Structure 1
Amino acid sequence: MTLPDQEARRSAPLTRSALRLNQVTRSYGHGNGTVHALRSVSVSLPAGSFTSVMGPSGSGKSTLLRCAAGLDRPTSGQVFLGDTDISGMRERKLTILRRERIGFVFQSFNLVPSLTARENILLPFRLAGRRPDRDWMRDVIARTGLTDRLRHRPAELSGGQQQRVAVARALVTRPEVIFADEPTGALDLSSGQEVLKLLREVVDTTGQTLVMVTHDPQAASYADQVLFLADGTVVDAMDRPSAQRVSERMSRLGS
């Protein structure tokens, strides 16, 4: 399903980089036991774009996301969030940067069970000791369809509703880049499609940048482009993806 303005945004020129990886390598272990999860990866993702990252198991998808989001440090190379080099940043400063400029959506939702939906959404502000923009918060809550669920705790919400709480939490601080790691992996088909439509709408209407790791060709088809990884290297890219084209490309990667 194509949302309003989706085709217009996909065809619009996107020039400023929201995220850039320059020759990023991530290795684990030493000597003969060294594992190269990423090998000299260089990518530049335009501001206001939606990028899916795909590849076989062990291809480096999650490592790329973790390095790009400042959750893991590259063994070599640089990661830029906008014009900021985060790859050598001290941990305390990096923690503050992630809190203020990056949003996260995980497969397992990562909600605090004892907090209500509203409290989970506002948790980043509580941790930072800041007040939210009330108008933006109301807009985010309305956009995610959670107005009538704010007093519910996670156990009282469906999987799709819990993921929408996680999306709202990621959006409410107005991050420059949102990273989503298999955001539909724990959801049924209908709930997954609702979350994907929401993520697509977020990019189209707010101009925020989204990077999503997924194994699902249908999910990847919501993106502006797909990056394909194999053996820690970006081996292909696809603009204007369809589920069928993505599935065919993944089949060739696995053969």
Structure 2
Amino acid sequence: MAEMATDSRTETAARAEDLHREYGRGTAAVRALRGVSVSLAPGTFTAVMGPSGSGKTTLLHCLAGMDRPTRGSVWWGGTEVSRLPERRLAELRRSRVGFVFQAFNLMPAMTVAQNVELPGRLAGKRPDRGRVLDALGRVGLAGRERHRPGQLSGGQQQRVAIARALVSRPEVLFADEPTGALDRATGHEILALLRAGVDQEGQTCVMVTHDPVAAGYADRVLLLADGLVVDELGRPTAAQVGERLSRLGG
């Protein structure tokens, strides 16, 4: 097995250095990322925004180890993960990061608890019932472990998805439009939950969103355009985000 590259600079939970990602070849190639460098400090909430096609989701997927950069590197703490063999990367991904999608991706025939346990079972691990119940308690679903997804509201289903991402106690939680399928009131509940995880649990969270109100929950907002980070806002209001995004055509 190839040795993992390590780095003494562990003050970041995750970072990307000179990240490039191209799809296709020759004249048909699409340059989704064109030299992006970002750092995620532990215990912070970062929102990533930009117009359609700006590269925000590609950046998230590369940072989360779900896509590999064409050039550049991705680090989780002091470990470079962008060049690891796929099996080793998958092992680290299961133990060190969590991912929440816009679509809840729950198994309808399974109970809430079984859905939360599923990633561990797929990894060949025996479920830790205490961890499952703790994760469900953290997202406000204590006592719902025997319910099935069809018996829950959309917001509750997204809470199950967040519990599933948190059960392994990941260092970084990646969220791709986590409120995109929810009404505004329920979306605020989910965003408050993510914010509380940062403030109360020291969770590191990075979220792609198109919604300036959602971005207002973050400590900072990275704005992408044409595969580049073109601006950064610290603790902005929704109005400030919306105004800056409108200049980018978002």
TM-score normalised per structure 1: 0.91
Match of 1:95 in 2: 90
> Taking every aligned residue pair, what percent have the same amino acid on both sides?
63
Alignment of 1:1-255 (within 5 A): 16-131=11-126, 134-254=129-249
Q: Name the SS for the 2:69 alignment partner.
A: coil
Return the alpha-carbon distance in structure 2 between the equivalents of residues 206 and 130 of structure 1: 25
Contact 1:132 1:173 in 2 (8 A): no
Q: CA deviation at 1:35?
A: 0.8
Contact 2:21 2:31 in 1 (8 A): yes
Return the alpha-carbon distance in structure 1 between the equivalents of residues 30 and 184 of structure 2: 35
Aligned residue type for 1:74:
P
Return the alpha-carbon distance in structure 1 between the equivalents of residues 161 and 66 of structure 2: 18
Q: Deviations over 1:42-97 (max 9, x none)?
A: 11110111000000000001100111111111000000011111111111111111
Aligned residue type for 2:196:
E
Contact 1:53 1:61 in 2 (8 A): yes
Match of 2:7 in 1: none
Misfit runs of 4+, over 2 Å: 128-140
Aligned residue type for 2:180:
G
Structure 2: runs of 5 or more not aligned: 1-9
Return the alpha-carbon distance in structure 2 between the equivalents of residues 26 and 142 of structure 1: 39
Q: Deviations over 1:112-152 (max 9, x none)?
A: 11111111111122122334555544332222111132111
Change (3 A) 1:118 1:135: closer
Q: CA deviation at 1:176?
A: 0.6
Aligned residue type for 2:156:
Q
Contact 2:121 2:127 in 1 (8 A): no
Change (3 A) 1:81 1:166: same
Contact 1:20 1:80 in 2 (8 A): yes
Q: Name the SS for the 1:149 alignment partner.
A: coil
RMSD: 1.4
Contact 2:19 2:35 in 1 (8 A): yes
